[in-house]
A and B are shown apart, each in its own frame.
Chain A
Amino acid sequence: DAGVTQSPTHLIKTRGQQVTLRCSPKSGHDTVSWYQQALGQGPQFIFQYYEEEERQRGNFPDRFSGHQFPNYSSELNVNALLLGDSALYLCASSIRRLPLAGEQFFGPGTRLTVL
C-alpha cells in the first residue's frame, strides 16, 4: 500500500503565478482534505472533497480551488499567488462511507515557496 502520495515535493513560484498540486489518496479511501501549514504553525483546513464535490471549506479565499477525479485523486489550485501562500501543503485521505471512520492519513506534503 503506497499510502497518500503528493506531487511535486517542492515548488518555487513568483507572485501572481498559478500553481497546481496533486494528491493520490490511500488505497480504498474516498475523501481528500487539503491543509496549509505555514512555518511554525499548525495545519489549517482548506477544503475537503468527496464524490467529486467540495463538501466543506475553511477560511480561504476563492483563489484556492480544487477538484476530485473519479479515481478519488485530487488537485489543489492556487491563483494569483501571494508571498503569504508560501507554506507546506498537506493532503489527507480518509473513508467517508464508514461511520466513525476516524483516522486521516497525511501525505508527505508539497513545499511551496512564493518569491
Chain B
Amino acid sequence: ELKVEQNPLFLSMQEGKNYTIYCNYSTTSDRLYWYRQDPGKSLESLFVLLSNGAVKQEGRLMASLDTKARLSTLHITAAVHDLSATYFCAVDESNTDKLIFGTGTRLQVFP
C-alpha cells in the first residue's frame, strides 16, 4: 500500500527566509503533485511533476522530483506572508488518477 509522508508537519518561518518541505513515498510512481490549501478552501494545483528529475518553478516556489529516491521537495525562497497555507503533496497510485495525499505541511510566515 502506497504511503506518502511529509515533513515537517508545521513550519513557522520569518519573511525573507528560505526553507524546504519534503515528501517521501513508499512505492514506485512517476507522477507527483503539489497542492496548496487555504483554511476552509479547496485544493489549488501548484505543480505537476511527471518524470524523474523534473523541476518546476513558479514565483517563490520550486518543486523537484527524484523517483529513484522516491522523494519530492518544495523549496520556498524568500518567504512572504501570502505563502501562509497548508501544502500537500500527492502521489498517483498506479498512474490512474487515484491520488494518495501526504499529511500536509502547515506553513505560517510571520514578519
Residues of chain A touching chain B, judged by Cβ–Cβ distance below 8 Å, are 31, 33, 35, 41-45, 48, 55-56, 58, 90, 92, 94, 96, 100-109
Please give me the 10 A-B residue pairs with the lowest Cβ-Cβ distance, nearest first.
A42-B101, A106-B43, A108-B42, A94-B97, A109-B42, A103-B48, A102-B48, A106-B42, A56-B98, A43-B101
Residue pair B99, A43 in contact (C-beta under 8 Å): yes
User: Is the CB of B88 closer than 8 A to any CB of chain A?
Assistant: yes
* Residue ranges of B at the interface with A (Cβ–Cβ < 8 Å): 31, 33, 35, 41-45, 48, 50, 88, 90, 95-104
Q: Is the CB of A33 within 8 A of B31?
A: no
Query: For the complex, what is the distance from the CA of A105 to the CA of B97, rounded to whole Å?
Result: 11
Q: Which of A33, A45, A55 has the most CB of B within 10 A?
A: A45
Cα(A56)–Cα(B99), bound, Å: 11
8 Å CB contact of A33 from B42, B98, B104: B98
A48 & B43 in contact (Cβ 8 Å cutoff): no
Main secondary structure of the interface of B (DSSP, over half): strand
Contact across chains for A48 and B104 when beta carbons are under 8 A apart: no
Q: Given A90-B42, A103-B33, A109-B42, do A45 and B98 touch, yes or no (CB 8 Å)? A: yes
Contact (Cβ within 8 A) B45 A105: yes
Contact call A33/B97, Cβ cutoff below 8 A = yes
Query: Contacting A104 at CB < 8 Å: which of B33, B88, B103, B104?
Result: B33
Contact A108/B98 with A42-B103, A102-B50 known, Cβ cut-off 8 Å: no
Bound together, the chains give a CA A84 to CA B96 distance in angstroms of: 28
Asked if B42 and A107 sit within 8 Å, CB to CB, the answer is yes
Could you name 9 residue pairs across A and B whose Cβ atoms are closer than 8 Å? A31-B97, A35-B101, A43-B90, A43-B99, A48-B96, A48-B97, A48-B98, A104-B99, A109-B41
Instruction: Write out the residue numbers on chain B whose beta carbons fall within 8 Å of the beta carbon of A107.
Output: 42
Let me know if A41 and B104 touch, CB within 8 A. Answer: yes
Asked if B98 and A103 make an inter-chain contact with CB atoms under 8 angstroms apart, the answer reads no
Residue of B at shortest CB range from A102? Answer: B48
8 further A-B contacts with Cβ under 8 Å, apart from A58-B98, A101-B97, A109-B41, are A33-B99, A45-B99, A92-B99, A96-B97, A104-B99, A105-B45, A106-B43, A107-B42
